[in-house]
Amino acid sequence: MTQTLVEVADLAVEFPVDGADAYVRAVDKVSFTLEEGRALGIVGESGSGKSTVAAALLGLHRGTGARLSGTVRVGGTDVAAATPAALRRLRGGTAAMVFQDPLSSLDPYLAIGDQIAEVHRIHSGASRRAARARAVRVLDRVGIADAARRSRARPHEFSGGMRQRALIAMALACDPRLLIADEPTTALDVTVQAQILDLLHGLREERGLGLLLVTHDVGVAAESVDELLVMRDGSALERGPVASVLAAPAEAYTRALLAAVPRLDGPRASRSLPGPAPDSSAAPVVEAVELRREFGRRGRRVAAVAGVSLAVRAGETLGIVGESGSGKSTLGRMLVGLVQPDSGLVRHGGAPATGITSGVQMVFQDPVSSLNPRRSIGESIADPLRAAGERDEAALRARVGELLERVGLEAGHYDRYPHEFSGGQRQRVGIARALAPRPRLIVCDEPVSALDVTTQAQVTALLAQLQRESGIALVFIAHDLAVVRQVSDRVAVMRAGRIVEEGPVDQVYDRPVHPYTRRLLAAVPGLDPEQAAQRRSSRQEALATA
Amino acid sequence: MSLTLERSAPAPGAVPPGAGAGRQVWRRLRRRPSAAVAAAVLALLVLLALAAPLVAHLTGQDPNTYHDDLVDSARGGVPIGSFGGISADHWLGVEPGTGRDLFTRLLYGARVSLLVALGAVAVQTAVGVAVGLAATLGGRTADQVIGRTTDVMIALPMLVIGIALTAVVPPDFPRPLLLVLIIGLLDWGGTARMVRAQALALRGLDFVDAARLAGSGKLRIARRELLPSLAAPVITYAAIKVPTAIVAEASLSFLGVGVKPPTPSWGQMLSSAQTWFRADPAYVLLPAGLLFTTVLASTVLGDAVRTALDPREGSRLRVGTGKERTG
Amino acid sequence: MTRFVLKRTGGALLVLLALSVIVYSLFYLAPGDPARLACGERCNPQQIAQVREQLGLNESTVAQYLHFLQGLVAGRDHSAGAGLVLHCDAPCLGLSYQTDQQVTDLILTRLPATLSLALGALAIWLLVGVGTGVLSALRRGGITERLLTVLTLAGTGTPVFILGLLLLMAVCAYLQWLPFPTYVPLTEDPEQWAWNLLLPWLTLGLFESAKYARITRSSTLETLAEDHIRTFRAYGVGERALVTRHAVRGAVAPVIALSAVDFGTMIGGAVLTESLFGIPGLGKTLIDAVRVVDLPVVVGVVLAIGTAVVVAGAVADLLYAAADRRVALA
C-alpha cells in the first residue's frame, strides 16, 4: 500500500496589505493529497495562489506576517505545529524545493559545490570533505560535465540550464522523498526546458521521488505529472488524472484555459479570418539587406545580428522565432530604426532608411514599461498625431477614441493612467498607439510573452484581426513557437544572429529542414500526456543526430 | 509565455510610481509617528526662526546687547546665577563673558543655520539636476566628461576645500552667502549622479522608445517623458541633503571659518563655547541640543520621505522577523 | 582584472592632474596679492615687489603652474632674498610664507598624528559599527534591534564636534577619568600615545559607527530579502546561519569600499576632531594655515588630501571588485 506523502486540508493563506489589519486572501480552502512516488501538477494563471500553496508545504510563510489556517502534513509532519528544529529537518530532508529563477536562487558569492555541501551537511551531519564529495557526485548525476572542477565555479559562471541543474542537484543532495518544483523551467529556453523536464522525469523513475510541479504552462504539466490540480483566484477548481482533465475538463474555466493554450497543431488565427491574402508580387514594405550589428567592448564583441536579409510585403505577417540571445529583438529594433546597423541596409518602400522613419511603429514586450506612468493613455496615443502636426484637440480626442474602440477599449478611457489597466489592456493601449499614425509596418517584439495564456490568446487574435482589416505589414517576434505559428504567414527561425530557416508556416512547422528547427519543435511540450514518452525518446534522437 | 504580469519585476532603475502613488506615499508617511513628530519639531523651529525679531521684541531682548552686570568678571566672566544665569528677563541665561541674551541669540542663530542650509540645498539641487540632465541628453563625450567631473566632486572632501576657499575670499564678502555658495557649489555631485542614473534608467524604458518612434524630439522627450518622473527622486534627495548642509554650516562656523561674530549661528556659538564648557556647561548644551534636534528631525523626515517613495520598501518588510513564529 | 587595475590607476592619475590645475589656479589667481600675503603686514611696496620677484609672480600663470609641476616632479630652487637660495626637494609643494619651511616636510611631520587618529577610528567603526549592524540584523523585530536603531539614529544626528565636546565634558571635566588629551607621538611613549588618543578615537570612531551600522544593517536586510536566501531557508538552514553565512556577505563589499574612502578622507585630515582635541595633524595644519592665509601650505595640504582621497577611491574600487567578483567581470 502506498503511503500518503502530502496531505493538505482546507488550506487558506492571507497576506497583510498596505494598510493596518487588512488582509488579502491568496489561497482559499485548498485540499489535496499526494501519494509517495506520484506526481501532482498545480496549474493556474498568475495570482491563482499556486506558488503560495507550494511555499506553505515547507512552512515558508512563517514569520512573514501571513495568516494560515487548515492543515498541511508533509511526510507525517504537521507543518503548522512543527518545532523550528522539526521544520528544518522537513525542509530539504523530506521535501526539497526547486525554484523558478536559478540565477537569483543561488548565493552569488559562494561556489556552487559549497552551497550544495552546506545543505547536505545540515541534513546528514557529514564532514566537510564528505559533503563536498557528495556535491560533486550529485552535480555529475544531473549532467554537469567535469563536475569536480565546475563545482568550484560561482553561479554567474554557469548558463541558465546548468544553474537549474545545480539547483536540482542541491535537492538531490539531501535525499528527499518529495521534490517541489515551482515554475522550474519558466526562465529557460524551450530546448533547455525539455532537457530539465527529462532530467526530472529520469530522477523520479530512478529514485521513486514524489513530485509537486507548480506551473502556469499546461503543456509542461502534461509532460510531467500523473494528476492535475487547476487553481484560479486562490481556489482549487478541479482535480483529476492528467489525461482525463485535459481530455474532458469539467469546469468552464479549465476548458477556456485549454482552448487558449497555443498549440502546434491547433487552428491558426491568420487563416481563420476573412481578408485578402498577401499579394506576393507587390514590392516589399520593408526590406533588410545583410544587416549586421555587434555589441560589447573591444576584445569581447559579440555579433547580435550577423548578416540577416528579409522582406515583408503589405498584408503579410512575418514571424521571427528564436531562443534568448538569438538576436531577434535587435533585428526588430533595427527594422524600425531604434538601433542602427553596423553594416547592411534597411529599405522602407524601396528607399534606404537611416534612423526613425515615419510609417513604422512598434509594440513592446513589457506592458509596464512601455507606457509612461505619469501620462494619461490618451496623451500617449495622441503623441504621434501631435508630432504629425495635428493641433485640433477635438479631432485628436475623436481619433484617439476611435483607436481605443478598435482595440477593444472604451473611448472614455482617454484620461485614465496606465496603472488603472491590466496587463492585457495595456498591451491593447500599446497597439492603439502603434496604429495611430496609420503605419505601413508594425514590429511586435514579444507582444504577449508577459501575459497570461487567456489574455495572450485575446491579444494575438486582436493583432491578427487588425492586420487583416488594415492590410499593414506585421513582423511578429517571439520565443514561443506555437504563438508565432498562430499569427504568421511566413516564419523565420533565428539562431546566433542568423536566420537558419525561412519559409511559409506550414512548410517550416510540418517539414522542417534545419536540425535546429527540428530540435526546437521537438522540445515544445504538447497537451497529450500519452505522447509524452514518445516525444521524450524522439528528443533523444534529435539530440543524437544534431 | 514566460513572465506573468503581476510578478514581472520593474525594469532597471525601477519604474517610477504612477500618478496614483501620491496618495499612497502620503498614507505611508502618516503612518510613521516619528516622521510626524520630526515634521512638527522642524515646523516649530522654522516658525521661531522666522519670528525671531518679533520674539526678541516681545521679550525685550536684543541678540547683540552686552550685559556686563550679569557676568562675574572676577571669575573670568561666568554668568551670575544658576544654569548659565537663567532669569525672568533671560529665559535661557546669558552668554558667558559678554552677558548677551542666549535665547535671542539661539533664535537668530537658527535663522542663519536654516537659511544657509536651505539655500545651499537649493543651489545643489539646481546645479545637480542641470548637470545630470546635460549628461543624459548630451552626447557620449559630454556624458563621460561630466561623469568624471561628478566622480571627482563626490570624492573631494567638501569640508577641506571649503575651509581652504575661505582663505582666498575677500574678508568683506557676506559670510552666509559665501557658505551657501561653498556648500551648494561643492556638494552637487550626489544629486547629479542620482539624476543621471535615474534619467538613464528612464531613457532605457520602452515608453521613451515609443515616444521616439512617434516622432518626438530630444527636448520634448526630456520635458514630457523624463522630467515628470524625476521630480520625486529629486525632492527626496534634497530632503536627505538638508541635515548634511546644516552640519556643514555648523562645522565651518565651529572651525571659525564660517559665520563671523557678532552674527550668531549654532556652530559659531559652539566654537566659542569650547573654552567655557567647564565653567558654564549650559552654554555648550543649549546650542548643541538645538543642533542635535534639528539634524535628527530632518534626518528622520528625509528618511521617512525616502522610504515612503522607495518601491523596494515592500520587499524589505517581507524579510520578516528573526524568529520564525509558528503559524 | 589587470586591465581593470590599470584603467583605474590611470584614471586616478588624470584626476590628480586636473585637481592640481584647479586648486593651483583657484588659489593663486584669486583676488588678493600673494606677494603682499607672503611678505606680511608691514611690508612697503618696494619689499612687496622684491617678494613678487622672488616668488616668480611676474611670470605668466601658465609658466607659474609649470614651475609648480616641475617642483613636484624634480624639485626646484627658491630664492629667499638677499642672495640666499633654498633648495626644495621633489616633490616640492613650495615654502611656507610664515616659516619658510618646505611644505612637503611640514606635511610629512604632521602625517603620523593624523594616521594615528585614523587607524584607531577605523578599528572602532569596523568593530562597533559593523558589529551593531550585524547584531540588529540578527535580532530584527526584537527590543534589541529597536534600541540599536534609536542609538544609530541619534548617532547619525550628532555632528562629530558635538559628540567630541560632550565626551570631553563628561569624561574629562566631570568624571575626571582622563586628563585633557594632548598629543604624544607613538615613538615617544606608546602608552601615553594611546591614552591621549582614546577620546579622539572614540569621538571619530563612534561618529562613523552610526553610518556603518546603518549600511551593514540595510545591506544585510536587503540581501536577506533576496531569492537565494529563500532557497537556503527552504533547505533547512537556520536563521543565524542565514544571516552570518549568507546575508552578511552582501554588506562586506560596501563596507570595505566605504571604509577605504573614509580612511582616505581621514588621512586627509579629520579637521573637526583634530581641531577640537588639538591634535597636530594635517587637518589642524590646514585650519591654522587658513587663519594666517599661508597659501603654499593651504595648496599643499589640499593637494595632499586630494591625493589621499583619490588613491583611497581607487583602492576602494579595487577592493570592491575583489570582494564582489561580479563587478570586474561585468
The CA distance from B319 to C140, in Å, is: 9
Please check the confidence at residue B8 and state whether its pLDDT lies above 90.
no
- How many beta-carbon contacts under 8 Å exist across B and C? 143
Question: How does pLDDT run across A307-356, given as a tens digit for each residue?
Answer: 999 999 988 999 999 988 899 999 999 999 999 999 999 999 888 888 88
Mutate to test the interface with C, among A60, A107, A168 (most CBs of C within 10 A): A107
Minimal CA separation from B267 to chain A, in Å: 42
The CA distance from B66 to B52, in Å, is: 18
Render C82-138 in DSSP notation, one character per residue: TT-EEEEPSSP--B-TTT--BHHHHHHHHHHHHHHHHHHHHHHIIIIIHHHHHHHHH
* pLDDT confidence bin for B6, thresholds 50/70/90: very low
Q: Which long-range contacts (CB under 8 A, 24 or more apart) does B66-71 make?
A: B66/B98, B66/B99, B66/B100, B67/B94, B67/B98, B67/B99, B67/B100, B67/B101, B68/B99, B69/B99, B70/B94, B70/B99, B71/B96, B71/B97, B71/B98, B71/B99
Burial C298-327 (b: 16+ CB within 10 A, else e): bbbbbbbbbbbbbbbbbbbbbbbbebbbee
Please check the confidence at residue B9 and state whether its pLDDT lies above 60.
no
Phi, psi of A477 (to 5 degrees): -100, 130
pLDDT given for residue C269 in this prediction: 63
Chain C: residue whose CA lies nearest to B321: C141
Q: Which of C30, C286, C291 has its CB closest to that of B168? A: C30
pLDDT given for residue C64 in this prediction: 78
Q: Is there a contact between C225 and B256 if contact means CB atoms under 8 Å apart?
A: no
Cα three-residue angle A503-A325-A338, rounded to 5 degrees: 85
Render C27-93 in DSSP notation, one character per residue: HHSSSS-HHHHHH-TT--HHHHHHHHHHHTTTS-HHHHHHHHHHHHHH-EEEE-STT-EEEEPSSP-
Please check the confidence at residue B312 and state whether its pLDDT lies above 70.
no
Report yes or no: C278 and C182 within 8 Å, Cβ to Cβ: yes
Mutate to test the interface with A, among C223, C232, C235 (most CBs of A within 10 A): C235
Kind of pairing between the strands at A498-504 and A490-495:
antiparallel
pLDDT given for residue B141 in this prediction: 85
* pLDDT confidence bin for B17, thresholds 50/70/90: very low
Name the grid cell of B57. 521684541
Q: Which residues of chain A have pLDDT under 50?
A: 1, 271-275
Please check the confidence at residue C56 and state whether its pLDDT lies above 80.
no
pLDDT mean over C100-115: 87
pTM for the structure as a whole: 0.80
Question: How does pLDDT run across A123-151, given as a tens digit for each residue?
Answer: 988 899 999 999 999 999 998 989 999 99
Sign for the pseudo-dihedral over CA of A161, A167, A173, A179: negative
Minimal CA separation from C133 to chain A, in Å: 20
Cα three-residue angle A202-A207-A211, rounded to 5 degrees: 75
* pLDDT confidence bin for C40, thresholds 50/70/90: low
Helices (H), A174-239: 190-207, 218-224
pLDDT given for residue A391 in this prediction: 83
More confident residue, C54 or B123: B123
Please check the confidence at residue B4 and state whether its pLDDT lies above 50.
no
Q: Which of B160, B167, B277 has its CB closest to that of C271? A: B160
Report yes or no: A527 and A246 within 8 Å, Cβ to Cβ: yes
Which residues have a Cβ under 8 Å from the Cβ of B274 and sit 6 or more positions away?
C165, C276
Question: How does pLDDT run across B82-107, given as a tens digit for each residue?
Answer: 666 677 677 677 777 777 888 888 88
Report yes or no: A170 and C235 within 8 Å, Cβ to Cβ: yes
Q: Which of C157, C169, C293 has its CB closest to that of B277? A: C169
Q: What DSSP character marks residue A278?
A: P
Question: How does pLDDT run across B133-155, given as a tens digit for each residue?
Answer: 888 877 788 888 888 888 778 87
Sheet holding A210-215, edge to edge: A95-98, A178-182, A210-215, A39-43, A227-232, A235-241
Identity of residue C309: V
Report yes or no: C48 and C39 within 8 Å, Cβ to Cβ: yes
Helix axes A532-545, A190-207, angle to 10 degrees: 120
Of residues A73, A85, A74, the one with CA closest to residue A123: A85
Kind of pairing between the strands at A95-98 and A178-182:
parallel
Chain A: residue whose CA lies nearest to B216: A387
Please check the confidence at residue C38 and state whether its pLDDT lies above 70.
no
Question: How does pLDDT run across C150-187, given as a tens digit for each residue?
Answer: 888 888 878 888 999 899 888 888 888 888 888 888 88
The CA distance from A139 to A112, in Å, is: 9
Cα three-residue angle C48-C52-C53, rounded to 5 degrees: 120
- Low-confidence winner among A10-24, B236-250, C48-62 (lowest mean pLDDT): C48-62
Render B175-193 in DSSP notation, one character per residue: HHHHHHHHHHHHS-HHHHH
The CA distance from B57 to B61, in Å, is: 7
- How many beta-carbon contacts under 8 Å exist across A and C? 68
Name the grid cell of C33. 596679492
Question: How does pLDDT run across C220-257, given as a tens digit for each residue?
Answer: 888 888 888 889 999 988 888 888 888 888 888 888 88
Total residue count of chain A as it appears in this document: 546
pLDDT given for residue B316 in this prediction: 41
The CA distance from C295 to A233, in Å, is: 74
Interface of B to A at Cβ within 8 Å reads 1-8, 10-11, 15-20, 24, 27-28, 31, 205-207, 209-216, 224-225, 228-229, 314, 317-318, 320-321, 323-327
Question: How does pLDDT run across A61-78, given as a tens digit for each residue?
Answer: 887 888 899 999 999 889
Question: How does pLDDT run across A44-57, given as a tens digit for each residue?
Answer: 988 889 999 999 99
More confident residue, B307 or C111: C111
Q: Find cell 562645522 and name the residue.
A: B251
Percent of chain B with pLDDT over 90: 15
CA A415 to mean position of chain CA atoms: 32
